[in-house]
Amino acid sequence: MAGKVRTDGRAAGRTLGIGMVGYAFMGAAHSQGWRTVGRVFDLPLRPVLAAVCGRDATAVRAAADRHGWAATETDWRDLVARDDVDVVDVCTPGDSHAEIAVAALEAGKHVLCEKPLANTVAEAEAMAAAAARARARGQAAMVGFNYRRVPAMAYARELVADGRLGALRHVRLTYLQDWLVDPDFPLTWRLEREHAGSGALGDLGAHIVDLAQYLAGEPIVGVSALTETFVRERPLPAGAPAGLSASGGAGRGTVTVDDAALFTGRLASGALVSFEATRMAAGRKNALRLEINGARGSLAFDLERLNELSFYDGGEPARSAGFRRILVTEPDHPYLEAWWPPGHALGYEHTFAHQARDLVHAIASGAEPVPSFADGLRVQRVLAAVEESAEKNAVYTPVPL
C-alpha cells in the first residue's frame, strides 16, 4: 500500500501518503505532527502530506498552503478514493468520525481518528468492528489520545508497569479549561450534542479516562457521576471558530451538552479513581493534572509543566524521602532520543509528532497500533456509563441537623 522509493529526509525509503479530513485546531496540530515526524525520527516509511479535505474550496486551499498539504479535496469520499493516500487522518467533529473511518478502512486505508473515537457507543462499536476486520487485512487503526505521547506520561506508564509504585490505591485526575466561562461565548459545534456527542465529558473527560486506564494498565469497571450545564443558552456563532475562539452573532440557541463532569470510578484491581472535567474553571487554560498513589510510591504530573514528573519513592529512608522532580528530557526517556539535548524542553505540539511516529512504526511492522479503536471503544463505554449515572442522579441528601 505504501508508495514510491525516496531517499531524501531522515525517513528514507518508501513513502506513506497521508490524507487528512478537517483542518481546524486539531487538523493544524496533526499537520504539524505529519510535517515534522519524518525530519526528526528515523522512520521505516516517509510520510508525505498528500491531500487535505474540507467542504469550502477556498478555505481548504488556504489551509493546504498554510500547513503544507500538496492537494485539496472538498468531499471526503474523493480523499478516501485517492491512490496517493495510504492513511486517512480524521480530524472532523465527532458526528462524522464513524462514517469516514469505517469507509476508509473498507477502502483499504489505514486510519488515525481524533478522540473521542465517536459520539455514541454504537458508533464506536461499529468502528472497532471495522478496525478488527481491517486488521486481518494488515491495516492499522489508531485513536488520537495524544497525551499518552507526552514523554513524562509514557515514562510514568513505565514506572507503574515496573512496579515502582506498588499496588495502586488512588488515581486522581482533573482536566480544567476556561474558554466557556464567558456566558457570551457562542454556541459552536463543541456545545451541540448532535455534533460533539457530549461536552467537557467527551472533550476533556475522554483524555483523562484514557490516561487513567493507560497509566494504571487496567480498565475502569464502575463509575458514579454528576454533570452540569451552567450556561444553558448562548449566542449563535457569527462565523467559523478559530481554534477555541469564536464570536457571537444574532440570535441565541440552547446548549445541549454538559459544561462540567465530576465522577468517581473503580479500577479492576480495586484502586479508586476521581475525575473532574470542565471548560469553566476561570484561569485554568489547559490544566490536566494527575496524581497516582500506590503502596510503594506516588507520581504527580501537570500538563502545564509537561517536561516534569514528580516521583515519591516510598522505599527511600524517611528522613531524606520526598517528592522529587524528574526532568523528563534525557535521551533515554520515551521519544527524546531524536530531539534536543537534555533540558531543552518539548511542548504540546510534539505529542502529535510522537503519535504519527508510533502509527508509522505500527503500519511498517504490522503490529496493532495503540491506542487502538478497541481502546477508544473502552473509553466510549466509560463515557456512556458516566452519562447514565449522571442521568439517574442517585443523590442522597444528608439529614438536616
Q: Is 310 in the site for ligand SOE (CB under 6 A)?
A: no
CA distances (Å), origin 90, targets 35, 121, 124, 231, 343: 16, 18, 14, 30, 34
From 36-44, 57-65, 200-208, 215-223, span contacting ligand SOE (CB under 6 A) = 200-208
Cα gap 255→230, rounded to integer Å: 10
Q: Is 189 in the site for ligand SOE (CB under 6 A)?
A: no
Considering the complex, what minimum distance in angstroms separates the CB of residue 269 from ligand SOE? 28
Q: Which is nearer to ligand SOE, 188 or 389 (CB)?
A: 188
Cα gap 249→241, rounded to integer Å: 12
From 152-160, 203-211, 366-374, 380-388, span contacting ligand SOE (CB under 6 A) = 203-211
From 60-68, 157-165, 199-207, 391-399, span contacting ligand SOE (CB under 6 A) = 199-207
**Radius of gyration in angstroms for the set of CA atoms belonging to the chain, rounded to a whole number:** 21
With CB under 6 A as the contact rule, the residue among 1, 25, 166, 326 that binds ligand SOE is 25
Cβ proximity of 112 and 358 under 8 Å: no
Q: DSSP readout, 77-128?
A: HHHHH-TT-SEEEE-S-GGGHHHHHHHHHHTT-EEEEESSS-SSHHHHHHHH
Q: Which is nearer to ligand SOE, 177 or 298 (CB)?
A: 177
Return the DSSP state at 242.
B
Site for ligand SOE, residues 210 to 249, rule: CB under 6 A? 244
H or E segment to which residue 375 belongs: helix 373-392
Q: Which is nearer to ligand SOE, 48 or 173 (CB)?
A: 173
Q: Is 372 in the site for ligand SOE (CB under 6 A)?
A: no
Considering the complex, what minimum distance in angstroms separates the CB of residue 213 from ligand SOE? 17
Question: Which residue(s) pair with 355 in the sheet?
Answer: none
Q: Is 177 in the site for ligand SOE (CB under 6 A)?
A: yes
Chain contacts with ligand SOE (rule: CB under 6 A): 25, 177, 203-204, 207, 244, 286
